[in-house]
Amino acid sequence: MYQALSKRYESMRYVRCGSSGLKLPAVSLGLWHNFGDTAIYENMKQLLFTAFDNGITHFDLANNYGPEPGSAERNLGRIMREELASYRDELIISTKAGYDMWEGPYGNWGSRKYLIASLDQSLMRMGLSYVDIFYHHRMDPETPLEETMGALAQVVADGKALYVGLSNYDGKTLEKAADILRELHCPFIINQNRYSVFDRTIEHNGLKETASRLQKGIIAFSPLAQGMLTDRYLHGIPKDSRIKTDGRFLKETSLTKERLIQIQNLNQLAAERGQSLAEMALSWVLRDGIVTSVLIGASRPSQIIDNIGALRNTKFTEEELEKIDDFSIASA
């Protein structure tokens, strides 16, 4: 039976999520990849153990994480039952619903029927009585926002979630949703959005500014741009890379000659700062205190340790920030 390290809380930084009472680790672990049924179960355990032993208390999932959909939640549930049950009150478990999960008209988007049914299924797969955070995973252009937000409020009222969040929303819709949730006295505390040196959408669609103004947290997924902001592709595309073995998320066409030059330039700047490229990329996301936590993925425990190293230096000079802009915003 796993026993957590006694010093697990000594090196991690914990950040208040917006104006709520909940603190999240500055680095959180996502189970988007490497926790489905095609992954090795023993490795899944070691990833979670390494994360928790180093103060990462937040594990993030969604109903459709796999492959197959639902398998990441099911595998986490098994590990919780067999190894982590005694630490449940030290952990933040989040899940989401919004993308395709089952066939028919009730298996995606943002209806009350889908969201409540999906969370019920997620809780069964994980063997939990509640999740700490339940997200609506994407904006729904057809379902009234009042209905979707009402469903989030309902799962909190029913004791199935402690807090709620929104994922992949823009600033305008976030503000409308926040108004509804405030009226419903629902503890909406966090937004989950893609954010990295290479993807600054939340700076342009108002999400980052709006979340800051409303005192809501932000957790950034894909902060390493699916591995592009690591040393993985400094010299081209390795044969065993995810691009070659699983092209669902990062396409080979994304790594243009121009993009590779950008990666090399950023890597040189990171070296000058005494960091790896991945450490600098994570530090950049956390640089101004608006982002509560970065959501990392990992295939090996050593990657988790390396990524936590980003917390040693999250301060940048104006010159460094200008260089990062020059290296990354140019057309690729």
Report how far apart, in Å, the C-alpha atoms of 96 and of each of 11, 35, 55, 141, 191 are: 29, 16, 23, 18, 12
Cis upstream peptide for 73 (omega within 30°): no
Give residues with Cβ within 8 angstroms of 193, minimum separation 6: 167, 168, 169, 201, 202, 207, 218, 220, 221
Rounded CA separation 125/75 (Å)? 8
88-126: pLDDT as tens digits? 999 999 999 999 999 999 999 999 999 999 999 999 999
DSSP state of 81: I
Could you tell me the pLDDT band of residue 261, with boundaries at 50, 70 and 90?
Answer: very high
- Please give the radius of gyration of the chain, using alpha carbons only, rounded to the nearest integer: 19
Strand partners, 59: 29, 93
Say how far apart CA 161 and CA 169 lie, in whole Å: 20
Candidates 66, 63, 95; CA nearest to 165 is 95
Residue 47, Cβ neighbours under 10 Å: how many? 25
pLDDT in tens, 215-230: 999 999 999 999 999 9
Q: Quick check: 265 pLDDT over 70? A: yes
Domain count, the chain: 1
Give this prediction's pTM.
Answer: 0.94
Q: What is the number of other CB atoms lying within 10 angstroms of the CB of residue 180?
A: 19
Instruction: Give the per-residue pLDDT at 116.
Output: 98
Q: Confirm whether 110 is domain-assigned.
A: yes
User: In 3D, which of 53, 137, 48 has the Cα closest to residue 93?
Assistant: 48
What letter represents residue 39's amino acid? A
How far is Cα 269 from Cα 280, in angstroms, rounded to an integer? 9
18 domain-assigned: no
Report whether 306 contacts 279 (CB < 8 A). Answer: yes
Whether residue 2 is contained in a domain is answered as no
Q: Give me the numbers of helices (H) and strands (E) for the chain, helices first please.
A: 12, 10
Query: Does 47 map to a domain?
Result: yes
**CATH of residue 65:** 3.20.20.100
- 44 lies in a domain? yes
Judged against a pLDDT cut of 80, whether residue 72 lies above it is answered with yes
Q: For 196-259, give the secondary structure using H, E and C.
A: ECCECHHHHCCHHHHHHHCCCEEEEECCCHHHCCCHHHCCCCCCCCHHHHCCCCCCHHHCCHHH
Domain with 141, as residue range(s), is 24-225+289-300+308-315
CA dist., res. 265 & res. 162, Å (int): 43
| C-alpha count within 13 angstroms, C-beta hemisphere, residue 52 | 24
Q: Is residue 321 in a domain? A: no
pLDDT level of residue 242 (50, 70, 90 thresholds): low
- Report d(CA 286, CA 309) in Å as an integer: 13
Q: Are 193 and 165 in contact (CB under 8 A)?
A: no
pLDDT the model gives residue 244: 54
User: Which pLDDT score is estimated for 241?
Assistant: 65
What is the Cα 36 distance to its own chain's centre?
16
* Residue type for position 217: G
pLDDT computed for residue 332 by the predictor? 41
Residue 233 lies in a domain: no
Total residue length of the chain: 332
Question: If you average pLDDT over every residue of the chain, what do you get?
Answer: 95
Query: What confidence tens digit (pLDDT) does each residue in 148-178 have?
Result: 999 999 999 999 999 999 999 999 999 999 9
The crossing angle, in degrees rounded to 10, of helices 257-272 and 277-285 is 90
Whole-number Å distance between alpha carbons of 143 and 127: 30
| Residue 117, in any domain of the structure | yes
User: Please, which pLDDT band fits residue 195 given cuts at 50, 70 and 90?
Assistant: very high
